[in-house]
């Protein structure tokens, strides 16, 4: 009589197989420029918390399915033009080509509340060219966490830099801070156009004490860099991070596709920098293989013709 079969656990696939599987090798190098998403993700000061609930799990159902409640302006994400400019495209209406292209990751180190200026962008290397993805590394992504340092005290772009980027004709802009605009040019600051402003009224006094200037004078407009970029066909990414330091100072290919969200105001993305060390990789040209005679017959019949018509046409 055969011995009873073991009731041990089902075999588990080696996780390393995903990294080592030959079918996945391209010769390209991929750099993840995204922060992780999940429970307790750091959030902009007025958003509801991320909620993730397991609806099915392995012990219960043999599968894992989860329900997620989140704003899309969370972790590394895209701002759709409709987020800030009325009458402009929603997430699903932005051409796919906008989310893929070549460009630069540039180092522009900044301290608390400093502004990224046109002069900084002009001096950045590699040179920022028309049509580029521009990823700006201020070093602030190292502070990404649920804290005031990252969200309230960050440096940032303002109107003048937005104008420079628009006039340079770039394709996309990504920043390693909380927003495309300086925090004091957002609802964090004083702006009466923002119904929830100021989210951090004490920061206005701190800025004045630190600089000797009134933030109302230094940042008179509400989110002007958002408007310069998103209102002029330039996509924007916020909270860039991950392995950003590894590609800073280099020309790369970038990709960051959003979900196809109808009437969407943005989307969490997986922003990736891609490098081809050998230059051998090529995207397929989309050529079709020669069609077999039988395919032409099938197409003709499906179109309402007979087999004789198909053969005569062939």
Two structure tokens written together for 303: 């179109």
- Using DSSP, state whether 81 is helix, strand or coil: helix
Question: What integer pLDDT is reported at residue 310 of this predicted model?
Answer: 43
* pTM of the predicted model over 0.85: yes
Of residues 188, 184, 132, the one with CA closest to residue 156: 184
- What φ, ψ does residue 174 adopt, rounded to 5°? -125, 140
Q: Quote the pLDDT of residue 311.
A: 45
Q: Considering only CA atoms, which of 170, 104, 114 is closest in space to residue 139?
A: 114
* Angle at alpha carbon of residue 98, lines to 78 and 104, rounded to 5°: 85
* Ranges of the chain whose pLDDT falls below 50: 1-7, 307-311, 313-314
Q: Which of 43, 251, 270, 282 is nearest to 152 (CA)?
A: 43
Count of Cβ atoms closer than 10 Å to residue 124 Cβ: 19
Q: How many helices (H) and strands (E) does the chain have?
A: 11, 13
The token duo for 83 is: 């987020």
Distance, C-alpha 95 to centroid of its chain = 15
Query: 305, exposed or middle or buried, with CB in 10 Å at 0-12, 13-18, 19+?
Result: middle
CATH code, residues 26-35+72-275: 3.50.30.50
The per-residue pLDDT for 234 is 98
With tokens 């770039």, the residue in question is: 170
Q: How many CA atoms lie less than 13 Å away from 262 in the CB half-sphere?
A: 0
**6: helix, strand or coil:** coil
13-59: per-residue pLDDT in tens?
676 766 666 767 899 999 999 999 999 999 999 999 999 999 999 99
With residue 101 as reference, give the H or E element that holds it.
strand 100-107
């Amino acid at each position: 009589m055969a011995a009873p079969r073991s009731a041990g656990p089902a075999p588990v696939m080696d996780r390393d197989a995903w990294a080592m599987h030959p079918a996945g090798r391209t010769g390209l190098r991929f750099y993840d420029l995204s922060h992780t998403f999940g429970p307790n993700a750091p959030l902009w000061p007025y958003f509801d918390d991320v909620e993730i609930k397991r609806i099915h799990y392995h012990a219960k159902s043999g599968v894992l399915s989860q329900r997620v409640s989140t704003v899309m302006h969370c972790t590394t994400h895209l701002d759709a033009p409709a987020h800030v400019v009325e009458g402009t495209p929603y997430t699903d209406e932005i051409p796919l080509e906008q989310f893929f292209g070549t460009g630069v990751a540039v180092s522009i180190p900044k301290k608390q509340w400093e502004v990224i200026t046109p002069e900084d962008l002009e001096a950045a290397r590699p040179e920022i060219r028309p049509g580029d993805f521009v990823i700006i590394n201020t070093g602030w992504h190292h502070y990404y966490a649920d804290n005031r340092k990252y969200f309230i005290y960050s440096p940032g772009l303002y109107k003048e830099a937005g104008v420079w980027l628009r006039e340079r004709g770039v394709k996309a802009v990504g920043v390693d801070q909380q927003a495309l605009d300086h925090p004091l040019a957002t609802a964090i600051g004083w702006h009466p156009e923002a119904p929830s402003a100021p989210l951090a009224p004490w920061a206005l006094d701190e800025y004045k004490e630190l600089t000797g200037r009134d933030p109302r004078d230094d940042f008179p407009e509400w989110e002007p860099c958002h408007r310069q970029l998103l209102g002029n066909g330039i996509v924007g990414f916020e909270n860039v991070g991950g392995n950003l330091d590894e590609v800073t100072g280099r020309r790369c290919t970038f990709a960051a596709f959003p979900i196809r969200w109808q009437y969407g105001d943005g989307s969490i993305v997986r922003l990736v920098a891609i490098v081809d060390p050998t230059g051998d990789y090529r995207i397929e040209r989309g050529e079709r293989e020669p069609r077999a005679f039988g395919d032409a017959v099938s197409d003709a019949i499906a179109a309402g013709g007979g087999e004789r018509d198909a053969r005569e046409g062939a």
